[in-house]
A and B are shown apart, each in its own frame.
Chain A
Amino acid sequence: MAKTIKKPLSVDRRSLLKATGVGVLAVAGSGLLSRTAQATPETAAKKLSELTGGAAVKQGKVNVKLPEIAENGRTVPMTVSVDSPMSSGNYVKTIHVVAEGNPNPDVVSFNLSPGTGKAEVATRIRLGKTQNVVARAVMSDGSVYEGKRQVKVTIGGCGG
């Protein structure tokens, strides 16, 4: 800040305010920028197509179970299941899960096999705000299915 004001002694109040005001804005702006380095529905979709090698996506078969309203975004129970047999010739290979509104779209990927027996996995995830959680399943024949679910994440309150 001191650098921008060349003659500190002769600076009048208005220009000082102006200078500091700009400084404050710049600082706030940089803070905002780092915060907006965030996933969006677009970046999440891009991430998913990277993970699934750009294969054509069909809707359905994938069920993402999440609470409608998460009690706390830091620990949200999630169950992902795929309507598919798990036989040696026909099974779910991978399930990729991404979040559309977290700082980073990646959440978790599950690698399954015929030995898994049932295409259902439960875990707990972090969600920064209300958003969609999208899961894509890659089947053994290469087809890709997608399912999604919106979760409302409440923030704040008085829970010391």
Chain B
Amino acid sequence: MKLKTLTSMVVALSAGALLAACQVDKAPDSVSGYTFATKDTQAMQDDNFSNPAMLWVGIGEEEWIKKDGSAGKSCASCHGGAKPGSDEEGMYAIDPVLDTSGGATKISMKGVATKYPIFDKASKKPMVLEERINLCRTKNMKAKAWKWESDQMMGTTMLVKMQSRGMPIMSTADQASSPLNGAWKAGMKFFNERRGQMDMACKNCHDDYPGTRIRANMLTQAQVNGFPTFRLKWQKPGTIHRRYAGCNKMVRAKHFKRGSNEYKNLEVYMTWRSRGLKVETPAVRN
């Protein structure tokens, strides 16, 4: 049944794909996945106290000030401690207050997430926020790297991204002068390339048919501005790379590892695609 429906969709999609092929820049019409969610799911995200992802942000706050590794440092040693918000608001993760007494170098996290992925000169590859956090841990803190999808990693990533909540995502990776341009091109190719047994590209759903249903599910534009996001399906938060792998599996294609070059390039392209959208992390999605 599923296969049949999908196959007939693919046939229908092929015609549309030809028309849309030359149009790449979707940013002017881009809307957050929030728009496609039901009002109940939106309400869950809107209230920090009903947003279940905030439990993980809480883990991030604990990790932020925890000294780990042989250098005896925590995130807060350099970036200042996370400021506990008022209980009524339920917001702990406001812009971290800089605790200069501990020799913090006053690097605020506000707006930082809007610039990721960045270009890593050492590896000549894109560097996503998860990798930056692990670099801090291994190089500056002399601590063990976290696993990509661990509670600590997602909590800390969400805490950092939350500092940019409401700020627009920035990306100029499409410009030839950008060091990320190569990755952007590779990511765009991945996005537009048909793959798997279903022979579907990301674009076939998310560029061509957002706002329509694929069986029971609403197709979104696949914007990245809410990640890591709490998904009702997962019953916990997950990273954008987990989402990519899920989508790849659904079209019966080979999926890649979290942190793989394929997904990093895709993240570069899809972040550019989401440029101008406001950071919503931690979002709640179906």
Contact = CB atoms under 8 A, between A and B. Distances in A.
A and B touch in their complex, CB below 8 angstroms: yes
Given A67-B38, A71-B38, A157 B216 contact: yes
A115 to B, nearest CB: 20
Contact of B246 (A77, A154, A155, A160): A160
Contact of A71 (B41, B246, B247): B41
A159 interface: yes
A156 interface: yes
A71 B286 contact: yes
B17 interface: no
B233 A72 contact: yes
B243 interface: yes
Nearest to A153: B216
Interface residues of A, number: 14
Contacts of A72: 232-233, 286
Interface in A136-160: 154-160
Interface residues of B, number: 25
Q: Which interface residue of B247, B250, B286 has the most chain A CB atoms within 10 A? A: B286
Nearest to B2: A156
B217 interface: yes
A46 interface: no
B215 A71 contact: no
B249 interface: yes
Given A72-B286, A77-B43, A155-B216, A160 B243 contact: yes
Nearest to B38: A71
B250 A74 contact: no
B40 interface: yes
Contacts of B249: 160
Q: Which interface residue of B41, B214, B216, B245 has the most chain A CB atoms within 10 A? A: B216
B44 interface: yes
A34 B41 CA distance: 33
Interface of B: 2, 6, 37-38, 40-41, 43-44, 205, 213-217, 232-233, 235, 243, 245-250, 286
